Structure 1
Amino acid sequence: MMHESTKDGAWFAPKRFGYGAGLPIAWQGWALMLLYVASVAGIALLNRAGTTGARMAALALFLLVTGLFVVIAAKRTRGGWKWRSGKRD
């Protein structure tokens, strides 16, 4: 869906059914998603270190990175996050 206009500054399309964001519609959304996946992969490697401190750090980093991703995605979704039941906005 890269053909859609992003003049409104949206990085993500809204989901048609449910709550949240759909797929990215701008390169910034794809970059954010790639950065999130890479961060989670790095955190998984930290978690494999095995020590208790490393696992606690991995959990804290995972919660922080996921929280940031959700906040940015919510702010950059066309029309914001709200419940949608298949009707057009």
Structure 2
Amino acid sequence: MNKPTCWFPAKRYGWGWGVPTCWQGWAVLAVYFVLLAGVIFTVRPEREPFHFLLAVTGLSAALVAVCWLKGEPPRWRWGEKKR
């Protein structure tokens, strides 16, 4: 009855995750984009390129970590097998 759900299903083709399937996944994506917008508007890449790159890389790494923990196991997928 209490089946664990994955927040991010695997993509059908390629490596990685698709769009979220539950509200928790959408909340994670919303927080990521809000924080990313905050970085874009507060850290100017022309003045502080290292800090900007570090902030964007850190946020993206955090998103990948959540996807890794709460999504289907990542592997290369070639789509469904034809019968």
TM-score interval (norm. to shorter): 0.7 to 0.9
- Among all aligned residue pairs of Structure 1 and Structure 2, give the percentage whose two residues are the same amino acid: 29
Which residues in structure 2 correspond to 1:21-32 (within 5 Å)?
A: 21-32=17-28
Distance 2:21 2:13 in 1: 17
1:63 shift after superposition: 1.1
Correspondence for 1:8 among 1, 4, 18:
4
TM-score by length of 2: 0.81
Which amino acid in 2 is paired with 1:20? Answer: G
- C-alpha root-mean-square deviation of aligned residues, in Å? 2.1
Q: Any gaps of 5 or more consecutive residues in structure 2?
A: none
Runs of 4+ aligned structure 1 residues displaced above 4 Å come to: none
- SS of the residue 1:14 aligns to: coil
Aligned pairs, number: 80
Q: Match for residue 31 of structure 2?
A: 35
Question: Normalized per residue, which structure has more strand?
Answer: 1
Query: Is residue 44–residue 52 contact of structure 2 (8 Å, CA) maintained in 1?
Result: no
Q: Any gaps of 5 or more consecutive residues in structure 1?
A: 1-5
